[in-house]
Structure 1
């Protein structure tokens, strides 16, 4: 018998009758009449040429063929039931999507995922890493992490913390003072939205009251995360976010040999003002605020 011609309704009727030991009990479970169950099983026996039940006046019992078929069907239907239940549970689990920049997602959010799962095992997070702004009104994104000064029209926002930038380098480079900037490459990255108050090397030299070494070589990246990795690898000294390199500083992969540290922009938690946050979205928002406060940075 080929798969496309399997009599699924008859097989289901047979499995129920074999499991319950009664056509009447099978009919109750399947919400049909005992006659319908008997008809389905007779059709299955006719299609296979096998006698599956010994029929007596007040009871039925499985034949040898029936005893071989029953456990296969029982296990199969049990697997169907368990798999479908799991899929339905997954579908009904709360899901919250967060949009953030590539660097913030990789260096700040991802290292904290274990803590989130421990506190909220019933919520699934979807992280969307992109340096492009998403329109919270027309996408499925629930929370966006905005980086800037604001304001953000149409969004409900809450400041998380203000970023700080400082020169950092692999300790193997032996960078100890600003004079060393003349002998090591300056690692740069491109800001997606150029602004005069972006924390760039030019601004750092102005705040430090120093002239930028003309002979210093440079290494430029399109992404801050790549600039951080280049600094960890010892390719130069980078001016990057101290919030994003906390783990590297604590592990000794990077050091901040001198100052000053300069202000960056502020990370804001943003949701669409025209949509009331669900309980799951609010739980994620509260967790993000708690994580920011735990770092010793008080919200503005």
Structure 2
């Protein structure tokens, strides 16, 4: 006779897996369509049930404890297996969907505005967008294509560069910023990346500009880069942003790039497995992605 499994509540496990994947209670709440308070409650319940702390709770971010790091990959793989098994049970339609995973900002700024063009050209293909700053394992069938930012290499994947990232200061034209001296009188807007070593933050930009005597840590901080851009549009300060991903705002004049320097970042890469890259529907999605990646 099989022993009864002693497991914590499923809702608490789902909340932990999402929060651990995003390293953000807020983003986990958005994914699960609940409030951040509800996510926090579920995590407290799980920690109480296990008698262990799963997260280090910092002022503006969270990180996994040693126990959390052990539990996360087990739950992630388990939920992936559940999803795959349920998908395999469902009746297979003639049209196979293509899932594209990309960073949250790239999805919002490049992919969503171009969806109509994809649907007009390939109405027979169902396209799914998976926005996440976490790396998705394409070999586990979670997604068919990935747009990743970074230096590579990308082992066991078909890879091609999409575009080179470029960063510079942006702000509302209403601020009247014209030169470095004007920065002394405005608020600096910061966003926090998961990979801080890849981020062109204010300290790096000021060093590249040869500007001294400014507090590079002062100002407004956002955990979501899109919110930092919206704050700049609203005239709340000056942000360092991707000039590639705010090209629309720059062309419409709601943001300006008043002066340099421009800091080069890594490239965006388009990735697929060898098996996936051979599919006709994935090739169509790759063609679309290459057309919308560069302004």
TM-score under structure 1 length normalisation? 0.64
> Is the aligned partner of 1:164 residue 2:177?
no
Per the alignment, do residues 119 and 182 of structure 1 end up closer, same or farther by CA in structure 2, a change over 3 Å counting?
A: same
> Is the aligned partner of 1:230 residue 2:235?
no
Asked whether the equivalents of residues 190 and 221 of structure 2 are also in contact (C-alpha less than 8 Å), the reply is yes
Asked whether the equivalents of residues 154 and 274 of structure 1 are also in contact (C-alpha less than 8 Å), the reply is no
User: What is the distance in 1 between the residues matched to 2:293 and 2:205?
Assistant: 25
**1:225 Cα deviation from its structure 2 partner:** 1.1
Q: How does 1:93-242 map to 2 (within 5 A)?
A: 93-195=95-197, 198-211=199-212, 213-214=214-215, 217-242=218-243
When the two structures are aligned, how many residues end up with a matched partner? Answer: 206
Q: How does 1:1-300 map to 2 (within 5 A)?
A: 91-195=93-197, 198-211=199-212, 213-214=214-215, 217-273=218-274, 275-292=276-293, 295=295
Per the alignment, do residues 109 and 215 of structure 1 end up closer, same or farther by CA in structure 2, a change over 3 Å counting?
A: closer
User: What is the distance in 2 between the residues matched to 1:241 and 1:285?
Assistant: 22
**1:178 Cα deviation from its structure 2 partner:** 1.2
Per the alignment, do residues 275 and 113 of structure 1 end up closer, same or farther by CA in structure 2, a change over 3 Å counting?
A: closer
User: What is the distance in 2 between the residues matched to 1:246 and 1:128?
Assistant: 22
When the two chains are superposed, the root-mean-square deviation of aligned CA atoms in Å is: 2.2
Cross-structure match for 2:8: none
TM-score under structure 2 length normalisation? 0.65
Unaligned runs of 5+ in 2: 1-89
Asked whether the equivalents of residues 166 and 242 of structure 1 are also in contact (C-alpha less than 8 Å), the reply is yes
Larger radius of gyration: 1
User: What is the distance in 1 between the residues matched to 2:163 and 2:213?
Assistant: 29
SS in 2 for 1:91: coil
Divergent runs of 4+, >6 A: none
